[in-house]
Amino acid sequence: MNRAARATIDTSALRANLNAAKEASGGARIMAVIKANAYGHGIVPAARALSGADAFAVARMEEAAAIREAGMEQVVILLEGVFHAEQIPQAASLDAELVVHSHEQLEMLEQYSGSHRFRVWLKIDTGMNRLGFPPEDAVELERRLAACAGVAGRPRLMTHLASADLQTDPFTTDQIRRFREATAELKGERSIANSAGVLAWPDSHSDWVRPGIMLYGVSPFEGRSGEGLGLRPVMTLASELIAVKTVPAGGRVGYGGVWTASRDTRIGVAAIGYGDGYTRHLGSGTPVLVRGKTATLAGRISMDLITLNLEEIPDARVGDEVILWGTGLPVENLARKAGTIPYELLCGVTQRVAMRLV
Ligand SMILES: Cc1ncc(COP(=O)(O)O)c(C=O)c1O
């Protein structure tokens, strides 16, 4: 086996970040968002480590099934509900709670004649203009849902914040106000906050919060690191040096020869590339850690390999660990360099990367 690329998942950091979310949420219940393979961390191990959450939120039926197949009995919420009526029996057999965001979904529940009673979450669109019903329809739709034979109890109520990561953007205050006004006469429990809401918008906490990225130790705010927010990074992505050579002055390294040695330079080759999820949008000069010191990418990222300028680490040898992100090298910084967000880098770690739990 030569899967040199590995993602080490620190389960104690997951638990610590869950506690941080609880403390920041002022007693709200926690719906831990573990969709997209727990943001690339492995849905089942992440869910096990986060078993202290009050519920799990997923985006796909397969994700709910993975939780049940692993024997976990916690509440699971399908954040986008079912996509087709044929999925309702499966959602029932998984005992999943359903978000209802469209008239199609409402009609599916009105026509459902099975014996299961679903807990449902009515999703109200307070300005994101993605999923959800207009605020002015909330009262009527809540009554229609409550009247469905397949619905258990009063529908719960939710909305999603579009700009909570922008800490001074008044749009979030507007969304919270619209949600409050739309639901003022309704009884169901409420949920508004994502991680940025948990950390920066106390008015969004309500009954349930829905943190995702912060559980993985990562900041939802541009320009701030998770560690600066009191979170612990969960994933360390690493590989190892499989070759070290000296490239003479003037030698070009890698595809396209976009990096040229200005003097004789020790170049290390590590076994990781965009085929593992280490995005090719990172360029020469991107830092990695070898022997606790910083080396930099030299040349383009290939599918399976990267080339590193080792001139600052003369003792680096074949077999040395190369850390791409994690403690000491925040994924937030790499995302900025790659012109993306840390969510995308984490979710993009591919199946080829070996997952190790510690
Ligand atoms: C509906 C919903 N709630 C909560 C979250 C969690 O967001 P975050 O990871 O920013 O905390 C997401 C993630 O995209 C989401 O789609």
Q: Domain holding 253: CATH number?
A: 2.40.37.10
221 found inside a domain = no
Q: How many domains is the chain built from?
A: 2
How far, in Å, from the CA of 355 to the mean position of ligand 1? 23
How far, in Å, from the CA of 331 to the mean position of ligand 1? 18
Which amino acid, one-letter code, is at 347? C
| Contact between 204 and 158 (Cβ < 8 Å) | no
Are 242 and 166 found together in one domain? no
Distance separating the N- and C-terminal Cα atoms of the chain: 20
How far, in Å, from the CA of 177 to the mean position of ligand 1? 20
100 found inside a domain = yes
Are 112 and 178 found together in one domain? yes
Are 277 and 327 found together in one domain? yes
Ligand 1 atom closest to residue 39's alpha carbon, by position in its atom list: 9
Question: Which residues span the domain enclosing 179?
Answer: 26-210
How far, in Å, from the CA of 145 to the mean position of ligand 1? 24
Ligand 1 atom closest to residue 35's alpha carbon, by position in its atom list: 13
11 found inside a domain = no
The catalytic site residues sit at: 35, 255
**CATH number of the domain that 112 lies in?**
3.20.20.10
Domain boundary among 173, 193, 210: 210
Are 183 and 248 found together in one domain? no
Distances (CA, A) of 179 to 24, 45, 336: 21, 34, 32
How far, in Å, from the CA of 144 to the mean position of ligand 1? 27
CA-nearest residue for atom 14, ligand 1, is 212
Q: Which of 158, 160, 204, 234 to mutate to test the pocket of ligand 1 (most atoms within 8 A of CB)?
A: 160
Are 85 and 200 found together in one domain? yes
253 found inside a domain = yes
Q: Which residues pair with 306 in a beta bridge?
A: 270
275 found inside a domain = yes
Are 110 and 178 found together in one domain? yes
15 found inside a domain = no
Ligand 1 atom closest to residue 195's alpha carbon, by position in its atom list: 11
Render each residue's pLDDT in the chain as its tens digit; 358 residues.
Answer: 567 999 999 999 999 999 999 999 999 999 999 999 999 999 999 999 999 999 999 999 999 999 999 999 999 999 999 999 999 999 999 999 999 999 999 999 999 999 999 999 999 999 999 999 999 999 999 999 999 999 999 999 999 999 999 999 999 999 999 999 999 999 999 999 999 999 999 999 999 999 999 999 999 999 999 999 999 999 999 999 999 999 999 999 999 999 999 999 999 999 999 999 999 999 999 999 999 999 999 999 999 999 999 999 999 999 999 999 998 999 999 999 999 999 999 999 999 999 999 9
Quote the CA–CA distance of 139 and 186 in Å, as a whole number. Answer: 7
CB-defined site of ligand 1, < 6 Å:
33, 79, 160, 194-195, 210-213, 220
Distances (CA, A) of 250 to 15, 228, 307: 50, 41, 16
**DSSP string of 90-105, one letter each residue:** HHHHTTEEEEE-SHHH
16 found inside a domain = no
Are 129 and 187 found together in one domain? yes
Ligand 1 atom closest to residue 165's alpha carbon, by position in its atom list: 10
217 found inside a domain = no
Q: State the pLDDT at residue 53.
A: 98
**Range list of H helices, 238-347:** 331-338, 342-347
Are 204 and 285 found together in one domain? no
